[in-house]
Structure 1
Amino acid sequence: MPERRPGRLLFITWQVLPSGRQGRGSVEATFIFSRHEWVDFHAWLAVIAVVLLVIHIALHWSWIVATTKRLRQRI
């Protein structure tokens, strides 16, 4: 069984989403966007994913109904 290294996950989390200390003289690592912009970006992607899911289900609704009826008949 491989050895677990919890410090590695902590390091990766810090590198990807650094907390930063604005106004205290430290430099914030940003990786294209600031931390708050990444949170907004993530939220908008979630909204888009939900909208696409609803569209997908709406487009395939007749298949879902037909398959459900067929499966109910087997039971």
Structure 2
Amino acid sequence: MNKARLNYWLDWVIGLAFALSTATGVVLWLAGSGGYQGGRNPAFQTTVLGISRWTWSDLHIWVSLVLVAGGVAHFLLHWDWIVCMTKRLLRPSRHRDQEVCPIS
């Protein structure tokens, strides 16, 4: 698999993980706290779309870990470009336009 195709699919995974992490975060925010060990909280057994709050929480954590791992992989795949741009921006302005940094 070439680098451009890998970046394409990695970006899709990151985007999907971001959307799912956001959606599960909103569900957890709206569901509220589960209370201290479930005691005296009438909403303890609350479900959203037939899924318990604890399952939403687990899903949120795992999807967020996929998002972080994807972000790290994305950063590593673009490391050469990051180094090139950093060097280019730190050089005096008369030398900036002479070097072109590869995108992929």
TM-score (norm. length: structure 2): 0.47
Structure 2 gaps of 5+ residues are 1-26, 94-104
**Among residues 24, 29, 52, which one is paired with 1:34 in the alignment?**
52
- Aligned-pair RMSD on alpha carbons? 3.2
CA–CA separation in structure 2 for the residues paired with 1:29 and 1:39:
13
Of residues 38, 62, 68, the one that matches 1:50 is: 68
- How many equivalent residue pairs? 62
Matches within 5 A, 1:15-26: 16-17=30-31, 19=34
Instruction: Give aligned-pair identity as a percent.
Output: 38
Q: 2:92 aligns to what?
A: 74
1 CA distance for matches of 2:31 and 2:60?
Answer: 12
Letter in 2 for 1:31: V
Letter aligned with residue 67 of structure 2: A
Report the AA paired with residue 48 of structure 1.
V
TM-score, length basis structure 1 = 0.62
Any stretches of 5+ residues in structure 1 without a counterpart?
1-12
Higher relative contact order (CA 8 A, sep 6+): 2
